[in-house]
Structure 1
Amino acid sequence: MSHSNPAIPLFDLNYGREEKEAVLRVLRSKWLTMGPETEALENEFAGYFKVKHALAVSSCTTALHLANLAVGVKKGTNVICPSFTFVATSNSVLYAGGIPVFADIASTDDWTISPNEIKKKINKKTRAIIVMHYGGFACKMDEIIEIAKHNKIPVIEDAAHAPGSFYKDRLLGSIGDISCFSFFSNKNISTGEGGMICTDNDDYANYIKKIRSHGMTSATLDRHHGHAYSYDVTDLGYNYRIDEIHAALARCQLKKLKKGNERRRLAAIRYKNALSKINKITIPFADYSFSANYHIFPILLNKSINRHSLMVYLRNKGIQTSIHYPPVHKFSYYKTVMGDHILRNTDSVSLHELTLPMYAGITDAQIDYIVDALINFIEGK
């Protein structure tokens, strides 16, 4: 195949006139902090994911922090979580005073947290289990929920990658005791910054509503409308509010989620068909039977391939790639604080994983160009 040399980013925004109009709507309203756009987003999000409560916050990191606090993570408690994730997953445990206990991924094909490893790590100090649906692929939720219920431990879903993905007939983010979504720029719902917490637990929801805004008993909008004239502070809270512009953008993005994910699935099919001809590349989650949103498109390189050299080669061809993820337990800070860990599957996969471009607007021609570049590098052309 012959193609021109396009600049192909790792991700791209699925934006149009709707997002522009949403921002202008907020500016015309002259209300920028948490207000009617936020309330509308929370209602629409709860309806979409079929949960009782959806609470908008400033990021998925702050969502995870609040989720840990809500389920009772504090000093002297442990939280079982993956190391093969973005560092915010485990950082949020430390923010709450807990200790992350890293569990390995299931296999070199299934890069989600292993239920068997979770079971081995549980002890009297375990206060929560965090699962992360890597790339939009569901963790083994039936097994994990059974383990959690048997031990009376709440499950936090890190659903940053997962909006619109399913486990059986349920949307990810609606299965655990509490879940956290990301609206970061590269996510399937993209607003730049922002996040959402979902739960059916009234106690969790009431606590989070309070502490996401300084522990105050009334919001600025309440006082603006005359529903309250003052406030009390009843708990140590945080400034984790979302703003109206990001909320308005998220409302647009939520409406586009289903179609955007379908376009990603079609792109994934084209990638898989083309990459199946390359012996030195493996595509994970080969036996996955549920509907994934393909937040990213990861591949596993043969050990004979120099990943850094390949990334530089692709960059010179105008193709951006990335690594998802350097494992958390290998970071200098975590080695200093928690010592060395051996997670065999995580360690192996993380050395050879490569993330290819994936977004709703990626074209067939771009995918073909990427695959041709991979073939040329591997064949030494």
Structure 2
Amino acid sequence: MAYKIPLFDLNFGEEEIQAVADTINSNWISTGPKCEELEQQFVDKFYVKHAVSMSNCTDALHLACILCGIKEGDEVICPSLTFAASANCIRYVGAHPVFADISSFEDINIDPKDIEKKITPKTKAIIVVHMAGFPANMDEIMAIANKYNLRVIEDACHGPLSEYKGKKLGTIGDVGCFSFFSNKNISTGEGGMLITNNDDYAKKARLLRSHGMTTMSYQRAGGHATSYDIVELGYNYRMDDIRASIGLVQMKKLPKNLQQRLHVRKWYNEKLQRVKGVILPFAQNEEFVSNYIMPIVLKDSNVEKRDRVREKLHAAGIQTSVHYPAIHKFSIYKQYGAILPTTDYVTDNEITLPMYAALTEDEIDFIVETLDTAVNE
């Protein structure tokens, strides 16, 4: 059905079309100057030493696990309230995900206290997901990592330019990973970015993303090399210049887009206060964040009630979603036997409301009024 108010709005226009046309007309469409330019944009805006463009965020997470030395039989602690890629990347290197609970209904990021409880001699790393673009408690997480000599991978796909105490998300741990999927704040359809301040990690990431080749075709075409060697078993995780050209336009739009999302979030925060039976996660957050999605959690509820509320919103022309089905409940991950009561409740009772820069205050009034009726009738 065509929704009156969709879940998200693709922020594309003539600038993206022109960028793609210009790249095609340049006669270089694979990994090349546009990818390099986009990488430099991340270096400049995130105040980080290295950025490596990737085919998607899942591949960035996979390489992050390799860079951090995670191997067969190791354990990596991660949340279950996230997209499956945050755990799949652990399995790609033969390690085992150990799922930690979230902090509370009000803070649906991974709980540092539960992280520390689940550390064993096999634990090698922590994967942190900054849910909805809101920062996890990185002071406590980094203190735990330092105490037990663990690597930290930040899955920051929800949080481009989001901050934690003045630092950009993705720059606090050892490696940060970003997504350019179609519904993300920066969208190129598919694509991603890996960032790090570790020189060796960056060098290895560039090698592994292109089959372990010592030079890439763009370097050879520019006369900087005439041959190549393959020195490691790598992958085809390269981004292409067509998508990178779109990403460059999206990066220019991002600051204004995030400022508009702040207004949308403020309207939601004010209007949702009058809806009984609804918890607003991160309501007390004062950091600058991307506001990637707008999650709410129903009080004293169950999955059947949540689904009825969603159906009523949909009937009124308001699209919603759920972020996320818990990973530990998927058939492939049930074997790990995770017991996560707070995650379980949120998974069954979370609703993601529409969130995008172009939402008007009148539209948010309509969403909140419809939600109030659906929850409390």
Hey, what does 1:345 align to over in structure 2? 342
Match of 2:61 among 60, 64, 71: 64
Matched, 1:198 2:163: no
Matched, 1:356 2:373: no
Hey, what does 1:45 align to over in structure 2? 42
TM-score (norm 2): 0.97
Q: In the aligned structure 2, how far is the partner of 1:339 from the partner of 1:225?
A: 50
Q: In the aligned structure 2, how far is the partner of 1:304 from the partner of 1:132?
A: 25
Hey, what does 2:254 align to over in structure 1? 257
Hey, what does 1:171 align to over in structure 2? 168
Q: CA deviation at 1:170?
A: 0.9
The unaligned stretches of length 5 or more in structure 2 are none
Q: In the aligned structure 2, how far is the partner of 1:32 from the partner of 1:6?
A: 36
Hey, what does 1:314 align to over in structure 2? 313
Hey, what does 1:219 align to over in structure 2? 216
Hey, what does 2:146 align to over in structure 1? 149
Q: CA deviation at 1:287?
A: 2.5
Q: In the aligned structure 2, how far is the partner of 1:331 from the partner of 1:124?
A: 26
The unaligned stretches of length 5 or more in structure 1 are none
12-21 vs 25-34, which deviates more? 12-21
Match of 1:96 among 93, 96, 106: 93
104-113 vs 193-202, which deviates more? 104-113
Q: In the aligned structure 2, how far is the partner of 1:240 from the partner of 1:197?
A: 11
Q: In the aligned structure 1, how far is the partner of 2:324 from the partner of 2:226?
A: 48
Q: Deviations over 1:71-91 (max 9, x none)?
A: 011102111111111000000
Match of 2:241 among 235, 241, 244: 244
Q: In the aligned structure 2, how far is the partner of 1:377 from the partner of 1:355?
A: 15
Q: In the aligned structure 1, how far is the partner of 2:338 from the partner of 2:171?
A: 32
Give the residue type in structure 2 aligned to 1:272: N
Q: Deviations over 1:24-68 (max 9, x none)?
A: 111111111100000000011111000000000011000000000
Matched, 1:19 2:33: no
- Structure 1 contact 70–207 (Cα < 8 Å) conserved: yes
Give the residue type in structure 1 aligned to 2:193: M
Q: CA deviation at 1:20?
A: 1.4
Hey, what does 2:326 align to over in structure 1? 327
Give the residue type in structure 2 aligned to 1:219: M
Q: Deviations over 1:317-354 (max 9, x none)?
A: 1111000011100011111xx24221111111111100
Q: In the aligned structure 2, how far is the partner of 1:294 from the partner of 1:225?
A: 41
Query: Runs in 1 of length 4+ with deviation above 6 angstroms?
Result: none
Match of 2:30 among 9, 28, 33: 33
TM-score (norm 1): 0.96
- Structure 1 contact 324–353 (Cα < 8 Å) conserved: yes
Q: Secondary structure at the match of 2:82?
A: coil
Q: Deviations over 1:107-131 (max 9, x none)?
A: 1211111111111111221111110
Cα distance change on mapping 1:144 and 1:304 into 2, 3 Å? closer
Q: CA deviation at 1:6?
A: 6.3
Q: In the aligned structure 1, how far is the partner of 2:75 from the partner of 2:352?
A: 31
Give the residue type in structure 2 aligned to 1:113: I
Q: In the aligned structure 1, how far is the partner of 2:362 from the partner of 2:270?
A: 14
Hey, what does 2:263 align to over in structure 1? 266
Q: In the aligned structure 2, how far is the partner of 1:108 from the partner of 1:263?
A: 26
- Structure 2 contact 105–279 (Cα < 8 Å) conserved: no
Q: In the aligned structure 1, how far is the partner of 2:112 from the partner of 2:226?
A: 50
- Structure 1 contact 6–366 (Cα < 8 Å) conserved: no
Q: In the aligned structure 1, how far is the partner of 2:6 from the partner of 2:27?
A: 35
> How many residue pairs were aligned?
374
Q: In the aligned structure 2, how far is the partner of 1:221 from the partner of 1:6?
A: 44
Q: In the aligned structure 2, how far is the partner of 1:286 from the partner of 1:222?
A: 49
Q: Deviations over 1:119-159 (max 9, x none)?
A: 11112211111100000110101111111112111110000
Q: Deviations over 1:188-234 (max 9, x none)?
A: 11111000000000111111100001111110111112221221111
Percent of pairs identical after alignment? 50
Q: In the aligned structure 1, how far is the partner of 2:133 from the partner of 2:206?
A: 27
